[in-house]
């Protein structure tokens, strides 16, 4: 069964449903990134401070405390499960787009690697492996870029032909 380019043959109603889903999913995804920006300042030091606290910094504007094990397990567990579902559903739609096979495979698999590197890295950072904050930052950035590219490809191909309902 060939799925490459199949999205172009979907009925208009299905295209509209997928587009609405992708847009709303993206609002949630990018809102999460705003939260990350607020809590970590999108910097390696901010990432470290978010999970290990800053109690030793007397000049800190906002006091942060080291997360406990229950908080870390909840965070890692919740993010790995929810983001796996996000990327699985996005991937199901992406499979139907007309796209170079190597790029498509990269966009399908890379987010799952980044999920493990990002949230596994956050846990290892919390355990004291401080250098991994750079891996967390890079994998989070790559995950975001992959998601953004996949969404743009999906929306472009969904909207290729006008979406008009009878």
Q: Give tens-digit pLDDT for 93-149.
A: 999 999 999 999 999 999 999 999 999 999 999 999 999 999 999 999 999 999 999
- Which pTM value belongs to this model? 0.91
Q: Phi/psi of residue 152, each to 5°?
A: -65, -40
Q: Minimal CA–CA distance to 103: which of 145, 160, 159? A: 145
Is residue 157 within 8 A of residue 19, CB to CB? The reply is: no
In percent, how much of the chain has pLDDT > 90? 84
CA dist., res. 106 & res. 143, Å (int): 11
CA dist., res. 14 & res. 146, Å (int): 24
């Amino acid at each position: 069964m060939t799925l490459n380019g199949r999205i172009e043959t979907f009925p208009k109603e299905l295209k509209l449903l997928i587009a609405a889903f992708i847009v709303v999913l993206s609002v949630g995804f990018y809102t999460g990134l705003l939260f990350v920006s607020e809590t970590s300042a999108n910097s390696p030091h901010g990432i470290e401070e978010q999970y290990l606290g800053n109690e030793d910094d007397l000049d800190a504007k906002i006091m942060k405390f080291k997360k406990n094990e229950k908080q870390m397990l909840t965070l890692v567990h919740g993010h790995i499960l929810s983001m796996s579902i996000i990327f699985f559903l996005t991937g199901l739609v992406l499979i139907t787009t007309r796209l170079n096979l190597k790029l498509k495979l990269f966009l399908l698999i890379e987010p799952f690697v980044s999920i493990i590197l990002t949230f596994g890295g956050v846990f290892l950072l919390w355990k004291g492996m401080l250098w991994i904050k750079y891996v967390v930052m890079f994998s989070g950035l790559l995950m975001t870029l992959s998601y953004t590219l996949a969404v743009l490809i999906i929306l472009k191909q969904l909207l290729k032909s006008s979406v008009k309902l009878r």
